Structure 1
């Protein structure tokens, strides 16, 4: 298999929708409980572009299909947080455990650094050990633990907060 990472295009959104909605119905990587229609993803794509935030896909060139995607956007919609972003990485389950999440996250981090961003935040379900270990591998530090802040599959979920310092700037 041969994979490339590239900016997402509108025709990729149907694949992104499929990957995301699978996670809605089967996984814990997001806590939405209703699938999103294609119009939602078109609007999201437009918003990301308007705000100059990236959306990347990793494409299986052999099968000519999207194996996963990653984005980042505002951590909070308050001016003081403008140098901090929160990211998402989703992989089609057929492509799990191939290192594609690592490749996408490395690409996102490199992109964020070119944009002079300061911090990248990850908010991860406490049982998503694979994602937590991936983030640790890339230098993310544990910065918070929020018990029972969300629900999925009729269970209260705990949230692990991690962050990566993207720049060497500090107040010292």
Structure 2
């Protein structure tokens, strides 16, 4: 398994990973599936901050970060996303992606990484806790999917002192 920068050619694999999660889970509140073209544009816009885990030519997951909020006061804070295929889970691939992403963030003067996680995804909450993230807030019923109100758990990790 190797971690590398995502390429626009990875967009079909990434689309399949993310659309499966959108369709089949409450891990995201999003209900609109993504298109490969929009993911390819995201990859090009975030060059260096969009990573994939690949094994034997197959993309098993991705991790990326982007702005947390607009404005210069948030210049050193980023919100990240990480998603894996079912067969990649529990194998250390998520940890490897996050370690690589955190190292890139530190090199780019990111001070804090933020995660917005569905309360219906306790595995992701535990994963982030194991990586040193702390729960800093819960926003009750801010999401809606499948006819249910869903809570958002906010977690963060301070990466380095600047």
Q: Please give the TM-score of this superposition, normalised by the length of structure 1.
A: 0.89
> Which residue of structure 2 lines up, in the alignment, with residue 100 of structure 1?
93
User: Which of 65, 76, 91 is equivalent to 1:72?
Assistant: 65
User: Where does residue 20 of structure 2 map in the other structure?
Assistant: 22
Deviation at 1:146, TM superposition (A): 0.3
Structure 2 residue runs of 5 or longer lacking an equivalent are none
- The number of equivalent residue pairs is 162
Where does structure 1 differ by over 4 angstroms across 4 or more consecutive aligned residues?
none
Structure 1: which 5+ residue stretches go unaligned? none
> How far apart in 2 are the matches of 1:168 and 1:79?
18
Deviations 1:68-114 (A, max 9, x none): 00000100122210100000000012322222111111111111111
Deviations 1:101-159 (A, max 9, x none): 11111111111111111110011011211111111111111110000001122211101
SS in 1 for 2:123: helix
Q: 2-side partners of 1:104 and 1:151: how far apart?
A: 29
Q: Which moved more, 1:145-154 or 1:96-105?
A: 96-105
- Aligned residue runs from structure 1 range 118-129, under 5 A: 118-129=111-122
Q: Counterpart in 2 of 1:7?
A: 5
Higher mean alpha-carbon deviation, 17-26 vs 93-102, is at 93-102
Give the Cα separation in 1 of the matches to 2:145 and 2:71. 28
Say if 2:78 and 2:112, in contact at 8 Å, map to a contact too. yes
Query: Pairwise CA RMSD of aligned residues?
Result: 1.2
Q: Residue 59 in 1 paired to residue 22 in 2? A: no
